[in-house]
A and B are shown apart, each in its own frame.
Chain A
Amino acid sequence: MSAQSSAIVKPRKQIGFWRQVWRQRQLVILSLPVILVLLFNYVPLWGWLVAFFNYKPTTGFNVFANEFRGLEYFQALFQDEYFWRGLKNSLGMGVLKIIFSYVFSLMLAVMINEVRVSWFKRTVQTISYLPHFVSWVVAANLIFVTFSPDSGIVNEVLLALGIIDHPVSFMGMPQIFWLMVALADVWKSAGYNAIVYLAAMTSIDPSLYESADIDGAGRFSKIWNITLPSITPTIKILLVLSIGRLLSVGFEQVYLLKSASTTETASTLEVYIYDFYMKYGMWAQGSAMSIFNSLVSVVLIVGCNLLAKRLDGEGIM
């Protein structure tokens, strides 16, 4: 029966499509801002073609006026040792940042959630959001001053405690640059990232805690057995989302925190694109690298989404 009715409805729908568009023309007009999306998000994808040509900027949009080089620039990319160094730095920093950001924002959310005094809770939250709203320029500035070997507070405290015997230039050490970036990220966004976890925690059924109280459960066991399991779906979704952005988050941060002495471990793929290809006008090579970045991101997102689906039968996209 349903097959019959759909067979009748279908042709009518086909005729009706443009008529329906006309009838909803006001909504079509309200959709016009997609033109901006087209111009500024989709047209740049056209620029991917640049990676296959010996591109000269004077040709503008007419990429085909240049000499076709095929996959030459991609081959060159994979033979470039700086590319592999950049990839290593991007992945290393990306993974470290995800781990740190997860552990610390989750811990902060749990700690805030355990506070009973509401004005204290609100104050801590308000303060913890502040770094998120300042620019990375300001944040980098504050971080340089704080870790400065020249009367920075971290060095002064460590010296006073006798942990170190002479000032250390934390931001100038290539061996710990990844760690510093991850810590800077925690300082700037842990409070803000905790919002989502806290919101998930408020929807936990309070009767769970009440019955745990009756059973004489301690605070840690309530956190471990009630709070954390209840927000697992949220944790999983955010993890999948952040893995998808593994290679593409944090250009500003790394670019501003790096210095001449940390180039070796600070040059991520994106920093490399800007600092090298862009400055020397090597458009094709830089575009090839951008394409690689975007493709890896898409693969990661789709892969993680499939994984999430397999894990709990529900994707996030």
Chain B
Amino acid sequence: MTAQPMQKQKMKTGLVSTKTANLIFDIVNTILLLMVCVITLYPFLNTVAISFNDSTDAVYGGIYLWPRVFSLRSYETILLQSSTIPHSAMISALRAVIGTALSIPLSMMLAYVMSRRDFVLRSAVTKMVLFTMYVSGGLIPTFLTYRAYGLMNNFLVYILPGCISAFNVLVMRSFIQGLPYELIESAKIDGASEYRILFGIVFPLSMPVIATIGLFVSVSQWNQWFDTMLYCSGEKDLITLQYELKRILDTANSMTGDSVTADAMASTASEGSGRVTTQTIRAAMTVISVVPIACVYPFLQKYFVKGLTLGAVKG
């Protein structure tokens, strides 16, 4: 604060060149950052524009940020005519909700016992959780194990294996360790059980970190496709939105270009009047799968930035 007037004086008295240099730096910096924003956002905006364009027209290309011939056909096809896509979106939503609802309390339980310095099994539990960050069974051993558990074509394979993540537990533990210990101490003196302390006192105080981890877990659940391909590709009812999107992407890429009407879904739609190509269907599906995330994460930004730095510094 005190340096501010001094600094101004100095600039006024002689160093005009520093001031101009500063200005040039700021302008260049701003331009570069604007370019970063454009590069980041353009593919998304372009996809939105394509998804709202008439699909036979979209084949000619040249759509940038705004649809040329506006049409809602792609969305109609996906949401009303397709039997698989709304169902797969529901499965994705279900796994996001159930996965998060189960993961948060169980991770908090572990984080809490790991934060209690007086707990005799603390270091054993901590080591067991930490070790999983460094060594994993690998694709095939894990696959064989889960198959032996009977998790093939089973909804539980979406929920149980990823339920406890070492990273998430560590972030939660760092947060709980930052809470005033006297709160726990005095609750204990009042005769509160450990369950009460955890769910009645620690939980409500940990909302920032719960929001952060809740975002991480639900987003990664919503975005999963690989476990569907590995474990549930044989069960039509368990297919997730991302896996569906991946399959459409595959059919489009195996053809020569984007202008293909080969996908099964597109061909059912083409029985009607206008034809719907995979290009616009793909764009519309991408939009549908991104919109929920894009609507949520900006509001949790301040939490996950804090949560992430906590984990990085102390983890």
Partners in one complex: yes
B92 to chain A, nearest CB (A): 10
In the assembled complex, which residues on chain A have CB atoms less than 8 Å from the CB atom of B107? 33
In the complex, what residue of chain A is closest to B287 when comparing beta carbons? A138
In residues 121-156 of chain A, which contact B (Cβ within 8 Å)? 123-131, 133-138, 140-146, 148-151, 153
Complex alpha-carbon distance, A213 and B5, angstroms: 12
In the complex, what residue of chain B is closest to A237 when comparing beta carbons? B312
User: Given A126-B301, A216-B15, A216-B18, are A294 and B128 also a contact pair (CB < 8 Å)?
Assistant: no
Q: Please tell me if the beta carbons of A21 and B106 are within 8 angstroms of each other in the complex.
A: no
In the complex, what residue of chain B is closest to A135 when comparing beta carbons? B223
Complex alpha-carbon distance, A115 and B141, angstroms: 49
Complex alpha-carbon distance, A46 and B194, angstroms: 35
A191 within 8 A of B: yes
In the assembled complex, which residues on chain B have CB atoms less than 8 Å from the CB atom of A286? 139-140
Extra inter-chain contacts (7) besides given A41-B136, A126-B298, A256-B249, CB under 8 Å: A44-B141, A133-B297, A135-B223, A137-B289, A140-B249, A214-B7, A294-B136
A8 to chain B, nearest CB (A): 20
| Interface segment out of the listed B21-29, B73-81, B267-275 | B21-29
In the assembled complex, which residues on chain B have CB atoms less than 8 Å from the CB atom of A6? none
In the assembled complex, which residues on chain A have CB atoms less than 8 Å from the CB atom of B289? 134-135, 137-138
User: Given A57-B144, A214-B6, A219-B22, are A33 and B109 also a contact pair (CB < 8 Å)?
Assistant: yes
A34 to chain B, nearest CB (A): 6
Q: Please tell me if the beta carbons of B25 and A195 are within 8 angstroms of each other in the complex.
A: no
In the complex, what residue of chain B is closest to A59 when comparing beta carbons? B148
Complex alpha-carbon distance, A175 and B251, angstroms: 24
Size of A's binding interface in residues, CB under 8 A = 103
In the complex, what residue of chain B is closest to A33 when comparing beta carbons? B106
In the assembled complex, which residues on chain B have CB atoms less than 8 Å from the CB atom of A28? 121
B176 to chain A, nearest CB (A): 12
Q: Please tell me if the beta carbons of B61 and A151 are within 8 angstroms of each other in the complex.
A: yes
Contact of A125 among B61, B129, B294, B301 (CB under 8 A): B301
- Flag A33-52 by CB within 8 Å of B: 1 or 0 each: 11011111111111110100
In the assembled complex, which residues on chain A have CB atoms less than 8 Å from the CB atom of B139? 270, 273-274, 278, 286, 290
Q: Please tell me if the beta carbons of A31 and B121 are within 8 angstroms of each other in the complex.
A: yes
In the complex, what residue of chain B is closest to A113 when comparing beta carbons? B29
Q: Please tell me if the beta carbons of A45 and B135 are within 8 angstroms of each other in the complex.
A: yes
Q: Please tell me if the beta carbons of B195 and A26 are within 8 angstroms of each other in the complex.
A: yes
Q: Please tell me if the beta carbons of A48 and B137 are within 8 angstroms of each other in the complex.
A: yes
In the assembled complex, which residues on chain A have CB atoms less than 8 Å from the CB atom of B94? none
A5 within 8 A of B: no
In the complex, what residue of chain A is closest to B225 when comparing beta carbons? A137
Question: Which 10 A-B residue pairings sit nearest by Cβ, starting from the closest?
Answer: A47-B141, A290-B138, A151-B61, A44-B137, A135-B223, A26-B194, A142-B43, A199-B309, A286-B140, A210-B3
Contact of A283 among B37, B41, B140 (CB under 8 A): B140
Q: Please tell me if the beta carbons of B109 and A31 are within 8 angstroms of each other in the complex.
A: yes
In residues 91-150 of chain B, which contact A (Cβ within 8 Å)? 106-107, 109-110, 112-113, 116, 118-121, 125, 128-129, 132, 134-149
Q: Please tell me if the beta carbons of A134 and B297 are within 8 angstroms of each other in the complex.
A: no
Q: Please tell me if the beta carbons of B44 and A130 are within 8 angstroms of each other in the complex.
A: yes
In the assembled complex, which residues on chain A have CB atoms less than 8 Å from the CB atom of B125? 31, 34
In the complex, what residue of chain B is closest to A32 when comparing beta carbons? B109
Contact of B37 among A116, A124, A289 (CB under 8 A): A124
In the assembled complex, which residues on chain A have CB atoms less than 8 Å from the CB atom of B298? 126
Q: Which of B141, B160, B305 has the most CB of A within 10 A?
A: B141
In the assembled complex, which residues on chain B have CB atoms less than 8 Å from the CB atom of A313? none
Q: Please tell me if the beta carbons of A108 and B134 are within 8 angstroms of each other in the complex.
A: no
A114 within 8 A of B: yes
Q: Please tell me if the beta carbons of B121 and A21 are within 8 angstroms of each other in the complex.
A: yes
User: Given A133-B297, A274-B139, A297-B134, are A138 and B290 also a contact pair (CB < 8 Å)?
Assistant: yes
In the assembled complex, which residues on chain A have CB atoms less than 8 Å from the CB atom of B243? 137
Q: Please tell me if the beta carbons of A37 and B145 are within 8 angstroms of each other in the complex.
A: no
Complex alpha-carbon distance, A41 and B22, angstroms: 53
Complex alpha-carbon distance, A248 and B145, angstroms: 20
Q: Can you give 7 A-B contacts (C-beta < 8 A)?
A: A34-B125, A44-B138, A135-B222, A148-B258, A216-B15, A283-B140, A290-B140
